[in-house]
């Protein structure tokens, strides 16, 4: 009888120890997983402002469709009024 109790006690102590270990590992995994997700998920970005002068008569797309004159290529589809979203910093 005594021996059995002793064994059970040892067993449950071992179980709870490993349970804590497993829970710690899961918690650490979840935490790092969350931060990984934040990085990978690409939160919605605000439209970057236009830092260059707006050249009258020049279509935004004439440069930004194919990246002429080192213009960053527009990654999104053509949508609405460019300057409605991309506020010019210099007039
Ligand atoms: C003559 C070619 C040309 C035309 C026309 C032009 N851009 Fe640009 N644009 C550039 C170049 C080159 C850059 C990168 C250097 C800079 O920011 O000045 C740029 C940068 C930008 C950026 C900043 C991107 C970033 O990551 O910060 C935005 C937004 C932008 N242009 C929008 C527009 C809009 C809207 C129009 C039309 C009103 C327009 N552009 C017309 C050449 C042009
Ligand atoms: C509804 C709002 C909206 C409109 C309208 C819009 N854009 Fe954008 N644009 C964004 C957002 C948001 C981003 C940043 C995320 C992305 O790249 O998709 C962006 C990114 C860009 C970039 C990339 C900048 C870089 O540094 O990589 C360029 C260039 C650009 N837009 C040009 C244009 C032009 C030219 C037009 C007009 C034909 C236009 N946008 C219309 C919202 C808009």
Coil/strand/helix, residue 88:
strand
Q: What residues are in contact with ligand 2 under a 6 Å CB criterion?
A: 45, 47-48, 60-61, 64, 72, 74-76, 78-82, 84-86
| Separation of first and last alpha carbons in the chain | 90
Contacts of 44 by beta carbon, 8 Å cutoff, 6+ apart: none
Coil/strand/helix, residue 4:
helix
Token code pair at residue 70 = 């080192």
Rg (CA), the chain: 30
Tens digit of pLDDT for each residue in 8-25?
A: 556 566 667 778 878 887
How far, in Å, is the centroid of ligand 1 from the Cα of 23?
A: 51
Tens digit of pLDDT for each residue in 31-72?
A: 665 545 556 677 888 999 999 988 877 789 999 999 998 999
Task: Please tell me what DSSP assigns to residue 57.
Answer: T
Domain extents in the chain:
1-43, 46-91
pLDDT above 60 (res 1): no
How far, in Å, is the centroid of ligand 2 from the Cα of 86?
A: 7
């Amino acid at each position: 009888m005594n021996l059995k109790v002793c064994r059970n006690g040892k067993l449950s102590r071992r179980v709870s120890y490993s349970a804590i270990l497993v829970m710690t590992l899961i918690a650490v995994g979840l935490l790092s997983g969350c931060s990984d997700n934040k990085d990978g998920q690409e939160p919605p970005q605000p439209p970057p402002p236009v830092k260059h002068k707006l050249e009258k008569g020049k279509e935004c797309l004439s440069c930004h469709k194919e990246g002429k004159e080192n213009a960053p290529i527009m990654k999104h589809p053509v949508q609405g009024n460019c300057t409605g979203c991309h506020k010019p910093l210099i007039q």
